[in-house]
Structure 1
Amino acid sequence: MAERSLMLVLHDVAPETWPDYQHFVEAVDALGHVPICWLVVPNFHRRNRLEEHPEFCRLLDSRLARGDELVLHGCNHADEAPAPRSPRDWFMRRVFTHEGEFYPLDQAESARRLQQGIELFARQQWPLHGFVAPAWLLGPGARCALATTGLTYTSDPRHLFLLPDYTAIDAPGLVWSARSAWRRGMSRLVSEQMLNRHRQAPVLRLGLHPVDMRHGFSRRYWLNLLIRLLEEGRQPVTKIDWLNRHVLAPSAAA
């Protein structure tokens, strides 16, 4: 595959996080046609039901019209399950993240929440192909439930996975931990190392979070990196368009 592609992905998209992203998105739009993947949370931390914000829904309508992709990103993006019982679960749910909503859920509850999100997208008439779990964490029950939804893909920090079999496709991603100055500095170093390691990778993903946008250091890095990768010839594309072009369509033709 000669073409090298680039995916720009905005995590935790909700009415309350849009002000964090707005100026960055405007700067991206000024670069020309750079499609964006928006990871949409139906009810962010149970205080931002998407359908109670029709103006924001119209904004997402307009992004689809530009060629962007909307992706289901959890249900409420918060881990509200009973306290963890094992050291591993305690680490994953209390140290690694407090937002791994789909990590502790059983199959039935996972299926219920996934269906809520799918129905929301249907009511809004938004095409839906992918689901990304908050913090990329899928427990066994959630994995089983997701495989039955008919969606095309999910992802983790290093791969895209075709559903229902979770066929892995290498798709290295860059992501920052930007909550403190030392974390931002370390994230920049790690990102540059990742870039050097994966410079010839067929596809790179830039995974941005609202907290990245609240600090000039990280916000400028992401915009400058995007410009750099575009100047190096990487083609910006959404996840589903890339899969249709390079994975799904060739498989169907075969």
Structure 2
Amino acid sequence: MVFIGMLQQMPDGLADRCPARLTKNFRDKSDLFQMNCEPIHLRRFSAAFRAFERNKRHHHDLAAKKSGCRTRHFHLVRAPREAEIWLMTDGVAADFLPMLAAAESPVGSLVVSVHDVAPITRPSVEKILTDLKEAGVRVTSLLVVPDYHHRGKSVDDATFISWLRELEADGHEIVIHGYFHERPRRQSEGMREKFLTRAYTQNEAEFFDLKYDEAFTRITRARDEFRGVRLSAIGFVAPAWLLSAEGERAARDAEMQYTTRIATVIDLLTGEREPSRALVYSTRSAWRRAVSLSWNAALARRVAIGQLVRLSIHPSDIASGGVWKQIIRFARRFSRTRNPTTYRDWISKERVTRNLS
């Protein structure tokens, strides 16, 4: 183990006052760094031993009282007993602390996306962003609807656009989310179409079966409207992630750099597809909320082993107490072990990583 190897190579002069103390406590008792006769991995080190602590004057410590020492030291504490306190000089601690920090560094990424952002949903979205920030998530991908349910263009609301610009300046990302976020019912729909467009989503699967020309027109219109008010959107996400093959081709031709589906993130420039199932909730009824809570509790354990975790939030989620508590719990948990980021930044990082490999 790297810790033991480093300790064994340390000169005795680094030990505090009594060289034998470091030798006795660390060199000869390397089993102290083992749990159940197995080496402790770096990420488990700080869990097995309390972190190095530094006190300006540690004359209250048992070991310090015994030695009469009044200098400043780092010390490693395993248990509150005198026999298990080992003093370390600043030089020794300086070698250890960076390794402990590296061992606890976040692994993987977390993208939190807020869907259905529009002037009418702004109050809920503001509360969502406040709660997420308190939970450790400071940046999100904001999926903005250009003309939510035909209630008026988002770009015509100057206050709303100014708010979006401020969020973008703070690190949030603006994403095009459909155009109307609405799909009219059709007479010739089969059972599959009815289920996906009426039951799975409430008449909002706008790009589910949209033909290429109309899909291209709506995406480019949204792109140009956002550019006209100085909003930078390079991603397109269809409502409910229901995007036809022609719609995906239209998004690529409309200069969108990525899109997402419920289980995949797609780089439209390179064609790379990253499997990653989104955590998402349905809150339209009590039974949907109950199923969502159980499903996502199990899904969260499965997606935690992947490189990318996606947490997708809708404005209605915050009105459901149980759902919102679970969302914030997930946000806290994943933001402690992962880097919160946006789709834009995650895609850019992945491209660099692939080019270097």
Within the alignment, does 1:171 sit opposite 2:276 as a pair? Answer: yes
2:212 maps to amino acid = Q
Name the larger-Rg structure. Answer: 2
Conserved 8 A contact 1:148-1:164: no
Select the residue among 28, 52, 74 that pairs with 2:132: 28
- The residue number in structure 2 matching 1:47 is 151
Shift of 1:102: 0.8
Q: Distance in 1 between matches of 2:233 and 2:354?
A: 21
Q: CA RMSD in A?
A: 1.8
* Higher mean displacement: 177-186 or 41-50: 177-186
Q: Distance in 2 between matches of 1:39 and 1:251?
A: 27
Q: Distance in 1 between matches of 2:300 and 2:134?
A: 24
Higher RCO (CA 8 Å, separation ≥ 6 residues) = 1
2:273 maps to amino acid = A
1:52 maps to amino acid = D
Structure 1 residues without counterparts, runs of 5 or longer: none
Specify the SS of the correspondent of 1:176.
Answer: coil
Conserved 8 A contact 2:145-2:179: yes
- The residue number in structure 2 matching 1:96 is 200
Q: 1:34 to 1:221 in 2, by over 3 A?
A: same
- The residue number in structure 1 matching 2:305 is 200
2:107 maps to amino acid = E
- The residue number in structure 1 matching 2:113 is 9
Q: Distance in 2 between matches of 1:21 and 1:44?
A: 15
Conserved 8 A contact 1:81-1:105: no
Conserved 8 A contact 2:267-2:347: no
Shift of 1:31: 4.4
1:50 maps to amino acid = S
TM score, norm. by length of structure 2: 0.66
Structure 2 residues without counterparts, runs of 5 or longer: 1-105
Shift of 1:15: 0.7
TM score, norm. by length of structure 1: 0.92
2:205 maps to amino acid = G
* Higher mean displacement: 129-138 or 18-27: 18-27
Specify the SS of the correspondent of 1:17.
Answer: helix
2:132 maps to amino acid = V
Conserved 8 A contact 1:16-1:48: no
Task: Number of aligned residue pairs: give it.
Answer: 251
Percent identity over paired residues: 29
Specify the SS of the correspondent of 1:179.
Answer: coil
Q: 1:33 to 1:174 in 2, by over 3 A?
A: closer
Within the alignment, does 1:250 sit opposite 2:357 as a pair? Answer: no
* Higher mean displacement: 12-21 or 216-225: 216-225
Q: 1:30 to 1:196 in 2, by over 3 A?
A: closer
Select the residue among 254, 267, 275 that pairs with 1:149: 254
1:185 maps to amino acid = A
Select the residue among 203, 225, 228 that pairs with 2:330: 225
Within the alignment, does 1:125 sit opposite 2:230 as a pair? Answer: yes
Q: Distance in 2 between matches of 1:239 and 1:140?
A: 21
- The residue number in structure 2 matching 1:235 is 339
